[in-house]
Structure formats: structure tokens, C-alpha cells
Amino acid sequence: MQVEQKRRISKNAIFTNGIFLFIIKLQDVKSITHQDSEKESNYGLWKKGDKSMNALTRDLIKQVDMTEEMMKTKEQKEGGFYREKLHLMPPVGWLNDPNGLCQLNGIYHAFFQYSPFNAEGGVKMWGHYTSKDMIDWEYQGVKLYPDQPFDCHGVYSGSAFIEDDKMYVYYTGNVKLEDGDFDYINTGRESNTVLVVSEDGKTFGSKKELMRNVDYPSDLTCHVRDPKVWKDGDTYYMIQGARTKEDVGQALIFESKDKINWKFRSRVESEKPFGYMWECPDYFEVDGTKILSASVQGLEGGVWDDRNVYQSGYFMVDGNILDDYKLSEYMLWDYGFDFYAPQSFETEDGRRVHISWMGMPDCEEYTNLTIAEGWQHCFTFPREVFVEDGKVRQRPVRELQKRKTLVDKSTGMLKKDGYKVYDVNILGIQNNEFRTVIDEELILEYKNGRFEMHFTSQDKNSVSAGRGMRYVDVDKISSVEILVDKSSVEVFVNNGEYVFTTRFYPQKDSLVVEAAGAEIMMEEIR
């Protein structure tokens, strides 16, 4: 996924942390990578001190290490007031899309779009976390740097495909050309599909450039990105998001017999134009239901004016997505403020889990108070995707249960103060009577046929940091689960039929739940 900011990013890749300015020019990258004619770099199995890595990689490693160490020292002295307990965050700087989500030999891997030198974004690389249970994560450092001619302005979003105990990572290498009058939509941008392989999830081999703009259909803009790969029979398939020259969003499907040589197969599109760009596409099947997920840009008018600047949702697919199919109505994964670019993977025990960026690109409506602390954004807590009564639903991964300790259990009402990380379950809601107040300013309630999430203050320096109201029309609510971390809230309505996610910046750590006749249980998460 690529975030287009109102203020045009420089044609050079610019990194800054307020102390230094590091500029990389495309011609400099070309001069140090010794690129051969076979589209393959000398990236090698990079490690600190590895003689095979190029000079740019070595310098980037040093700069990242220095910046992360400075933040670590700062937080040891000052603390990290809004740092989350359960949600993955950048060590420093900016985080956006989850990438390369997978499980390899029992270990979960979560890569992330990472701009360590600036909390408001910059040229992207891939940071890396690992976990044995999706609860406790260990930071593994940066694994992919923008250090080749075909990705020198950003290692953009991509995915991991597991086969034969190897991790095949596909991503979009971003290049913004210089020395021309470019609009960076139809001209001036390279969107290169790149492969890099790991046998252990820690070290990576040579980057291979698989496809360039000329390998995509000619009626597309330069915006083709975010590959996701799966296998059916003896054929591999890759889906990518695209924007046509007529400003219509769609997905592209490529096929391969060897995971390296790809050819265009077909398009996936709605009956009528639906947005101008489909980012971060994902295709999978859950409980017999085929799902095409996409983050759609350019939806305007009607209900979309009450939603986020960009949407993340899914179509249910009737038929064969490769040949003869019909897409359902587009449904949102999340109705809250902070949710974009979800990516899913299948666990080794057969569950479909997805994680999203708890953020929103190009958003001027609201902000995040952690920018002042030197970092911004986090991921959603991992969610299991399942189908029940013909509806696609989500719930926190079951591993969370082992970390819960009962705080209180009551009927009709519950009040608590002083808890920062907890889970509240409200079951058996009667007559749609439900209202919850968190930190005196975040309101969750059923009102006039709608479930609403809204803040009493919308000042950008308040608990909301500028957030206002989001809602979904729903006839009846029977249950609500509320997962609260230090600076985030995720709300699961009707056993995950509807979900609301938001960042918030509490000061009082208070909770009031009112639901006449309902069973209310609060558990602290340790």
C-alpha cells in the first residue's frame, strides 16, 4: 500500500529524525548495487558485517540501529505513556500496513511498513516481529531495506507464501522517477513486483525483480501493487490491486507454475465502477465462503460521506474468481475510525487470522498524540475470521483467553476505575438497551436503530485527538465485547458481526457499562 500525502513527497528518498537528513538518489543506488542483466541483485543473506551487502544497506542498518537505540534510551528515561501492551507498534517512527503475515514451523511472523526516521511517515522498509502465540511478540529488526534500483523509494506492501518450509515474500518495489513533469499516477512511478526467499524467516536471499509496469495490462495507471499469493492444484495465483486510466479500481490475477515466472490471467471487478483504487487485495475461503478483501479508495456520496476517507471491506464471491464469478455487496470489515489494509493468513491449525493497520492514510479529520513521543500507529489485535449464520464475523484470537483474570461480574451495570488493559463481555442484552462510557469521553451505545461510537470532545488535543462519530445501522444487538488497550479500543458487536476500532488517549482510565438485564464480565489482561 502506498500513502499519497497532500504535500508531495520529494522525488528523492528523504529520511529524517530531527537530527540528521539522509538523502538517497536513484543514481546513487544504481552505482552501488552492481545490478546484473538478470533482474537479480547482490543483496545476499544480509547480516551486520556481511561483505555481500551493498553500501546503502550497511548505512541504513547503522542509521536504523542508532535511531531505535535513541528512542529506547528516551523511553527508559521518560516512559511511553501510550505504548500498547497487546498491539504491535513501531520501535520508533511510523508504522502502517501489516505485511508477510504467516506461520512458519510454529512461529508467527508479522512484518510491517516502517519509517523509523519520522513519526509522520517516509520511505518504507519492512520491520519484523515474531511470536509463538500472537500475544507476546519479539522485535527482530528490519528485514527488507529500500536498497535496490527497483525498490529505492520504498519496500511497499506484500505477502508471504509458505511452501516446503520456506517463506516466499512478494512485495511491491516503489520507484519515483526524477527529471520530468510527472503526476505519479499515470507517469513517473515504477511499481515493480519483487520476490525474496527465506528458509528460516530471519535471513533473506537475493531480491528478484519479477514484473515491471510493462508486464501489467496497458490500460492501467502506474498504481499496481500489494501482491498476495495462493496455490490451487499445481498452479500459483497472485492478486494485486490496480487503478485504471479511467480511474476505476479493480484487482488483477496472475498465474505461475514455479512462483517466479508470472503471466497475467484475468481481472476482478465490480459490475459498476467502485472507487478509483483497490489496495491490499486478499482472496481466501472460510467455512465454505469465498472472500475477496480490498481497501477501496475514492468512495464518495451517501453513506460513504459518514465513513472514513478510505474503506476496508470485502465482497463474498459467488462462483470461480478466476473465470465466472459474481461479487456481493461490499461490506466493511470495521466501522470505526482506525482500520485499513488488513491482511490474512492461515494458521497451521487451520484458522483464518487477519491483522490490520490501526490507522488511516490521508486523514486530516483526526490525529494521534503519540507523534509528540516520536512514534505513530499500531496494528489491530489478531482476529479470527469465521462464518456463522451466513455472516462473516471476527473475534480476538482464542490465545487471549489464557491471559485474562476476572475483575468483576455483574448484571445490568458495572463501574470500574484504574484499569488500562482489559476485556469486557456483555451478553444477553435486552431490548437493545446498551451504553458504555470509557474515560468519560468515548461513548458506545445503541441509539435510534444504530450502534454508535462517538466522542464527547473532538478537539485534537483531547482523548479523541479529533475523532467524532461512526455508526452502523442494526436491528438488534444481543452481545458486545470491548477490548481495551492503553491507547486503543476494539468493539465486537453481535459476536463479531460488526466491529469498531479506534485509537484514543485516556487520562482517567474509567469504565461505566449499562445494559439492563445483561450479564457483564470484566477481565484484566496481564
The residues that are catalytic are: 97
CA distance 118 to 16: 6
CA distance 60 to 147: 9
CA distance 15 to 66: 13
DSSP category for residue 477: -
CA distance 383 to 476: 23
**C-alpha angle 384/156/243, rounded to 5°?**
90
For 368, phi and psi rounded to 5 degrees? Answer: -135, 130
Which residues face 424 on adjacent strands? 482, 522
Do the beta carbons of residue 487 and residue 370 sit within 8 Å?
Answer: yes
Nearest by Cα to 411 from 437, 439, 430: 430
**C-alpha angle 171/173/175, rounded to 5°?**
160
Do the beta carbons of residue 236 and residue 255 sit within 8 Å?
Answer: yes
Do the beta carbons of residue 407 and residue 424 sit within 8 Å?
Answer: no
State the amino acid at position 72 in one-letter form: K
User: Residue 173, class by beta-carbon neighbours within 10 Å (0-12 exposed, 13-18 middle, 19+ buried)?
Assistant: buried
CA distance 421 to 84: 9
